[in-house]
Amino acid sequence: MSSPEIPPRPSRQSFLKSVRNACAGILTAFRSERNFRIQSVIAIVVLLAGWRFEVSHWEWAVLVVAIGMVLTAELFNTAIEAVVDLASPEIHPLAKRAKDVAAGATLIAAITAAVLGLIVFLPHLSAH
């Protein structure tokens, strides 16, 4: 009885190619999606406010996770919309449902991030 073949390990070159493809996807979203650009600008404003108010390490962690959550949700939303458009170019109730649910997930992420931002920044604002 022969032993099962062990699949080859991915090469460093394939890892770098995956990173390049991921960066290309982010850049595509930035160029083509108005909401992603708006959320990116808001993220920069939040990071600058964190620097300005000298937030604690834990507050930085909360802000970075919140920003990452929103941008990731928007990227998933963009990907889902593209796949739905490809699979169903005509208007269909299930296509609308998929797009609406994906947009709803992004909205929940954005509202959650806004609440976290208020929790972090309100004490700093009231102290000044």
Residue type, 104: G
Return the structure tokens found at 100: 């609406």
Tell me if 39 sits within 8 A of 110, measured CB to CB. Answer: yes
> Could you give phi then psi for residue 8, rounded to 5 degrees?
-65, 145
Q: Is 74 a catalytic residue?
A: yes
Q: Cα–Cα distance between 83 and 85 in angstroms, integer?
A: 5
Q: Which domains does the chain have, with CATH numbers?
A: 34-127 (1.10.287.3610)
Residues 55-82 have pLDDT tens digits of: 999 999 999 999 999 999 999 999 999 9
Query: Choosing from 33, 74, 81, 90, which is the catalytic residue?
Result: 74
pTM: 0.86
